[in-house]
Amino acid sequence: MRAQPKASHFINGRYVEDTAGAAIDCVYAASGEVIARLHEATDAIVEEALAAAKAAQPAWAALSGTERGRVLRRAADMIRAENRSLSELETMDTGKPLQETLVADATSGADALEYFGGLAGSLTGEHIPLPGGDWAYTIREALGVCVGIGAWNYPTQIACWKASPALACGNSMVFKPSETTPLSALRIAEILSEAGLPDGVFNVVQGRGAVGASLITDARVAKVSLTGSVPTGRKVYAAAAEGMRHVTMELGGKSPMVIFADADLDKAVSGAILGNFYSSGQVCSNGTRVYVERSVREAFVARLVERLKAGVVMGDPLDEAVTFGPMVSEAQMEIVLGYISQGIAEGAVVAHGGKRADRDGFFVEPTVFTGVTDDMTIAREEIFGPVLSVLDFDTEEEAIARSNDTVFGLAAGVFTQDFARAHRVVKAFEAGTCYINHYNAAPVEMPFGGSKLSGVGRENSKGAIENYSEMKAVYVGMGDVEAPF
């Protein structure tokens, strides 16, 4: 199997290569096979990308929002038309089942392009009447050159979620995908170009952390948007602060899901599956701490395990019948297996799964732990794999307090038929993205992002516009100017 792109980088409307950069091997996670070899951006490539983005931005910003939006919406249509091949590429890049990528990756990217393309024409400032006939107005302006840095779990989606609001507002972007999944952002850049995006407005450069770091501190960069882990977020935020750059930080989590005894148990089990095993658990907002009211805990675990036994089909993720893929990489598999061992060592009980699957590739069995306590490592740290911890609780107050007892604040969910309680619990959650009787849906119309250590700013929704533009305020004096002397 080969998925070799035309070159490693896409700059100024064309593919660019510089083989002097260190090699990045792209590995198909279901077999361990190398399917493409790319090269990290050298200093010359980084310079070329930033110079292109800087040069292209003013003319792009000078177009009307409607004109910019038209390009984004055209790209959205092209992505939808090409959904199958983009989904296959995403599956090869990440190892996620084609069954998932067909509905959740390029389509989500297209949604973002369409949504922000639609908004672009309506971005305006405001008129502010003042006493004495004076007035003020605001001009919504682009920030300039934005840098986007992606994680490996949703490479297409992340590229589009960052590019769409940035470009809608008139910014240009240099995007660095994760070195683990370098392929799909290149194709997105190519499609944007084919849709009519002026050269240099969206550029992709490859590389590991050092390339990301060199992008952030360049004087031409006005904003950095990162999707990644908390430790990386700390470094990127600090580096961006040196130049007073704007940031959006979409970081990790250890989110709670609270299931009350009155919940529709089948819906709650579905929520727990969506919030733990989709993308083999490699989802930042996953609700991995599943608090179940004591009286229904056994029934919940029994149904969950039954559904996993019946529904999990492991195999080649390119086979559409497969529902459960491998970890993205051998390294990630080892991390997840390490957490499982630690859970067992600290006294948690494996109710399902618990080991590497007996097949080629980096597969870890979907794993359910019971007997988990709040102080265990598996209940405190982000695992980023298919490991669900069941914890039991007795009262609403206790469930809320324990849910919030974490440094993270990305997402949280509640399952109950008592809607007054649902809204009360959600109000008390310390999390940016909450769910009632659902989990992990991320429509573009809804803000997405975290509080506490899980992030700064929001992606998607009209709110993202605030994160990719700034207001220039203009005071207009209509009468005398009174001065003290």
Ligand X SMILES: NC(=O)C1=CN([C@@H]2O[C@H](COP(=O)(O)OP(=O)(O)OC[C@H]3O[C@@H](n4cnc5c(N)ncnc54)[C@H](O)[C@@H]3O)[C@@H](O)[C@H]2O)C=CC1
Closest distance to ligand X from the beta carbon of 154 (Å): 6
251 part of the interface to ligand X, by CB under 6 A: yes
Closest distance to ligand X from the beta carbon of 177 (Å): 6
- Exactly one of 94, 153, 172, 460 binds ligand X (CB under 6 A); that residue is 153
Closest distance to ligand X from the beta carbon of 44 (Å): 19
Q: What CA–CA distance (Å, rounded) separates 279 from 140?
A: 38
Say if CB 349 and CB 371 are below 8 A apart: yes
CB under 6 A: which stretch of 134-142, 221-229, 423-431, 465-473 binds ligand X? 221-229
388 part of the interface to ligand X, by CB under 6 A: no
80 part of the interface to ligand X, by CB under 6 A: no
Say if CB 336 and CB 348 are below 8 A apart: no
Closest distance to ligand X from the beta carbon of 271 (Å): 19
Q: Nearer Cβ to ligand X, position 277 or 300?
A: 277
435 part of the interface to ligand X, by CB under 6 A: no
Size of the site for ligand X (CB under 6 A): 29
7 part of the interface to ligand X, by CB under 6 A: no
178 part of the interface to ligand X, by CB under 6 A: yes
236 part of the interface to ligand X, by CB under 6 A: yes
Which residues are catalytic, by number? 250
Contacts of 236 (CB under 8 A, 6+ apart): 149, 212, 213, 216, 224, 226, 228, 247, 249
Number of Cβ within a 10 Å radius of residue 485: 2
Q: What CA–CA distance (Å, rounded) separates 425 from 434?
A: 10
Q: Nearer Cβ to ligand X, position 163 or 268?
A: 163
In the stretch 343-382, what mask flags binding to ligand X with x, by CB under 6 A?
A: ---------------------------------------x
Find how far residue 2's CA is from the centre of its chain: 26
C-alpha pair distances (Å), 78 with each of 107, 194, 195, 266: 11, 9, 8, 38
In the stretch 405-424, what mask flags binding to ligand X with x, by CB under 6 A?
A: -----x--------------
Measured at CB, which residue is nearest to ligand X?
212
Q: Is 474 helix (H, G, I), strand (E, B) or coil?
A: strand
Q: Nearer Cβ to ligand X, position 237 or 369?
A: 237
C-alpha pair distances (Å), 388 with each of 82, 304, 349: 35, 11, 11
Strand pairing category for 221-227 and 246-250: parallel
Q: Is 350 helix (H, G, I), strand (E, B) or coil?
A: strand
Contacts of 475 (CB under 8 A, 6+ apart): 130, 134, 136
Interface residues for ligand X in 454-473 (CB under 6 A)? 455
136 part of the interface to ligand X, by CB under 6 A: no
C-alpha pair distances (Å), 380 with each of 27, 274, 276, 289, 434: 30, 20, 15, 9, 19
CB under 6 A: which stretch of 123-131, 172-180, 362-370, 464-472 binds ligand X? 172-180
Interface residues for ligand X in 268-287 (CB under 6 A)? 284
Q: Nearer Cβ to ligand X, position 121 or 243?
A: 243
5 part of the interface to ligand X, by CB under 6 A: no
452 part of the interface to ligand X, by CB under 6 A: no
DSSP for 77-145, please give it: HHHHHTHHHHHHHHHHHH---HHHHHHHTHHHHHHHHHHHHHHHTT----EEE-GGG-EEEEEEEE-SE
